[in-house]
Amino acid sequence: MDKFYLNIKNETSRLKAVVLGTAKSNGPTPKVEDCYDPKSREHVIAGTYPKEEDMILELDAFENVLKKYDVIVFRPEIMEDVNQIFARDIGFVIENRFIKSNILPDREEEFQSIEYIVNHLDPNDIIIPPEEVHVEGGDVMPWNEYIFVGTYTGEDYKQFITARTNKEAIEFLKNLFPDKKVVKFELRKSNINAKENALHLDCCFQPLGKGKAIIHKNGFLIEEEYQFLIDLFGKENVFEITKEEMYQMNSNVFSISEEVVVSEQNFTRLNTWLRSHGFVVEEIPFAEISKQEGLLRCSTLPLIRD
Ligand SMILES: NC(=O)NCCC[C@H](N)C(=O)O
């Protein structure tokens, strides 16, 4: 592999290269006490935790769609018995920089599997935040002149295994990108109730092409922060999802371009709305992976867009 240059300015410009997570050698079903999100926990308790072979098929379907649009798809190196589905969170790209996440300690080792890609970047473009900065890619959304960041800054931050991006991360991103407007959003957190938990910003909000966006109001703790997004996109451009739709991860679709969105095949109301606004919707099955509280955006780490 030759050296290559990163470029990500937003969520929707034509995608050229991406890392797509893998479910191979995902490890055994975790113990209840080892789950780090409420939806996985719920499925472990119910005996319905997803099977590796089913999740492999879902990621294969995703890879096929990406390849159909001539996207270069990198996969993580397979580590034995390590969950490597959610590539989004382990690092993220803004402009030409790769920022390594300071992820939940339970997920730290996942980074090794993409080091072979990161090693091909210009070392000056690789940013390693200091220890006190907690940040995961699911909470960070470059949106042209903005960087939207999901966070939780309550005194009880440490009690939430579902709170992954702290206030130090906001300051860190402001300093790293002084020309961007870093806007933070306090998210609702619950360790045990997935319907009351916005694990990351991309679990309750996502900008789409053509000036549209998806949002779930209850994911936001502060009304004005939610309202900021409604005002920015315009009420008529926003698809508001219900609690149940957030739980099914409807905000976690993935844009290949301004017009093309990869979505889950059961998201009937959303997919109909998208098509009625002229989007091409590539439907794939992803309901098994969804049981781990992540979906299509969470499984990708975009490296290059136009
Ligand atoms: N961006 C995302 O929302 N990623 C999903 C991560 C799910 C995983 N079970 C976790 O709790 O970290």
CA of 95 to the centre of ligand 1 (A): 23
Complete edge-to-edge strand list for the sheet that includes strand 205-207: 205-207, 213-215, 238-240
Look up residue 260 and give its DSSP letter. Answer: E
Question: Tokens 């009937």 identify what position?
Answer: 268
User: What SS3 state is found at 77?
Assistant: coil
* Mean pLDDT along residues 215-223: 98
How close is the Cα of 93 to the center of ligand 1, in Å? 17
**Could you identify the atom of ligand 1 that is nearest to the CA of residue 199?**
3
Domain spanning 15-305: which superfamily?
Answer: L-arginine/glycine Amidinotransferase; Chain A (3.75.10.10)
Average pLDDT of the chain to the nearest whole number: 97
Show the tokens assigned to 236.
Answer: 């008529």
Q: Model confidence over 54-102: pLDDT tens digits?
A: 999 999 999 999 999 999 999 999 999 999 999 999 999 999 999 999 9
Q: Which long-range contacts (CB under 8 A, 24 or more apart) does 271-278 make?
A: 273/239, 274/208, 277/210, 277/212, 278/210
Would the pLDDT of 1 be above 80? no
pLDDT of residue 117: 96
Q: How far is CA 124 from CA 74, 88, 99, in A?
A: 22, 21, 11
Q: Which atom of ligand 1 is nearest to the CA of 88?
A: 1
All structural domains of the chain with their residue ranges: 15-305
Using the atom order of ligand 1, give the atom closest to the CA of residue 89.
1
User: CA gyration radius for the chain?
Assistant: 18
**Per this entry, what is the length of the chain?**
306
The CA-atom distances, in angstroms, between 87 and each of 101, 106, 134, 298 are 11, 14, 17, 7
Pocket of ligand 1 (CB under 6 A): 36-37, 40, 86, 88-89, 107, 138, 199-200, 202-203, 292-294, 298
Euclidean distance between CA atoms 76 and 64, whole angstroms: 16
Closest residue to atom 5 of ligand 1, CA basis: 294
Terminal C-alpha separation, the chain: 20
Alpha carbons 190 and 178: distance in angstroms, whole number: 33
Q: In 3D, which of 102, 27, 111, 69 has the Cα closest to residue 301?
A: 111
Could you tell me the distance, in angstroms and rounded to a whole number, from the CA of residue 146 to the centre of ligand 1? 23
Query: Among the atoms of ligand 1, which is closest to the Cα of residue 104?
Result: 12
- Alpha carbon distance 301, 296 (integer Å): 10
What is the tens place of the pLDDT at every residue in 220-254? 999 999 999 999 999 999 999 999 999 999 999 99
This complex has an ipTM of 0.96
Of ligand 1's listed atoms, the one at least distance from the Cα of 252 is 3
Q: Which residues contact 66 (CB under 8 A, 6 or more apart)?
A: 15, 18, 20, 73, 256, 262
Alpha helices in the chain (DSSP H): 38-46, 52-68, 115-118, 167-176, 223-233, 243-247, 268-276
Q: Out of 250, 293, 295, give the residue to mutate to test ligand 1, the one with the largest number of ligand atoms within 8 Å of its CB.
A: 293
Nearest CA to ligand 1 atom 10: 37
Question: Which residue's CA is the nearest one to ligand 1's atom 11?
Answer: 37
Q: CA separation (Å) from 151 to 138, 170, 194, 222, 226?
A: 10, 8, 17, 12, 13
* pLDDT for res 2: 76
1 Cβ contact partners less than 8 Å away, ≥ 6 residues apart: 117, 120
For 149, list phi and psi in degrees, rounded to 5. -135, 120
What is the pLDDT confidence band of residue 3, given thresholds at 50, 70 and 90? Answer: confident
Ligand 1: residue whose CA is nearest its atom 6:
294
Tens digits of residue pLDDT in 92-130: 999 999 999 999 999 999 999 999 999 999 999 999 999
Give residue 2 CA to ligand 1 midpoint distance, Å: 31
CA 202 – ligand 1 centroid, Å: 10
Task: Provide the pLDDT for residue 181.
Answer: 98
CA nearest to 110, candidates 97, 91, 126: 91
